[in-house]
Structure 1
Amino acid sequence: MKKIFTIILFFICFINTWSQDYKSPEYQKKRFEEANEYLKNSDVFRAAGVFQFVNELNPKNELGKISLKKSDSLRPIAHQKLKESLIGTWKLNRTGSNWGFEKTTDTINDKILIVNESEFKFYEQNIKTKKLKLIKSEEIKFSKSIHERYYSYEFVFSDNQIWHISKNEKTGELRQVNTGEQNENGRSEIVCGNLELIYTEIESLK
């Protein structure tokens, strides 16, 4: 019993020490310098995120206030870069979730996504005739809710579904993941079994 008590006491002391280090001015300064390094390397996505984290560590001190201003100023730049990276014509290649993926097997129509500066346009293209049929068009609209700073790189569609859409720089593929739904309380969140769609870029619709 005494041994168990000693172990519990050790873990309590460890957690308290870790918490103090985590909230320390030194740790906040270290992460602030990390954010500045990302900014120097033009990585605005990571810079904005780390500056936001620095603010959350202590929003009341000077470093926290500066970090919030930097994060807020970088977010629109990151939004624009994200939109530019998605522009193109994409063909659905496979669908699935974290449980696994399946190649598309439709022998009549290809699923096409065309992204421009302001819209996501979803089409079906007849494989034989190459005729395009517009299925739906969605305005490019970033998530805005009480959780905006945490989900500010996700898109909200007209049915309130929230999607994370990004391009994999290594594979060149476009990934569309359903992460939740926007509601009057902010948003719901899907943490497992999220619907995912993977697209490959095509040069033309011929």
Structure 2
Amino acid sequence: IRAVGGSLLAAEQALEHGLACHLAGGTHHAHYDHPAGFCIFNDLAVISHYLLESGRVNRVLIFDCDVHQGDGTARILEHTPDAITVSLHCEKNFPARKAQSDWDIGLPMGMGDTEYLQVVDEALNYLLPLYQPDLVLYDAGVDVHKDDALGYLKLTDEGVAARDESVMRHCLGRDIPVVGVIGGGYSKDRKALARRHGILHHSAQKVWLSSGGH
């Protein structure tokens, strides 16, 4: 519950300032009535419903870059037309039975930095002008990393950082507030995993300072 509250607070900070990140969140496998895939409550869906129903936003776009499909988010928000679900994931990976997001971008196993970043760039260049959301919820899962235990993609630290920077620059460049949550990451080396999750926050600071934020 506290993690969901943190994601909601980060979303409110993003709406106020333009950019915010949370040290948790991205629990996109949780469904209406049951947990799944290490996820108990779906913060992305809760934020979307809360902000839409309260009138804080008219449209929200979830850009989910966790290596696994955001199946819970897709199912919870299936009948919420103003919450656009976009899942950029490794096609042959958990969950075995995929849900249907508004946009599912399935990637082949073994994809590396260059090809992945091109997909991210092309997706945002198409989807952000198309939907013109009032807020982007960015699930910055680091299980796309080449050393992740459950990933099957081959991004480097530099590739993850470039992805995070790209998403935030695309949004801020169009004056769309963006909130980043950490999403998935799996490794027995906890220090290495923590550093990987920290990339989001370092990238956010870099983008924020270069955009003239204080």
**Normalising by the residue count of structure 1, what TM-score does the alignment of the two structures yield?**
0.23
Larger Rg belongs to: 1
**Normalising by the residue count of structure 2, what TM-score does the alignment of the two structures yield?**
0.22
The structure in which a higher percent of residues are strand is 1
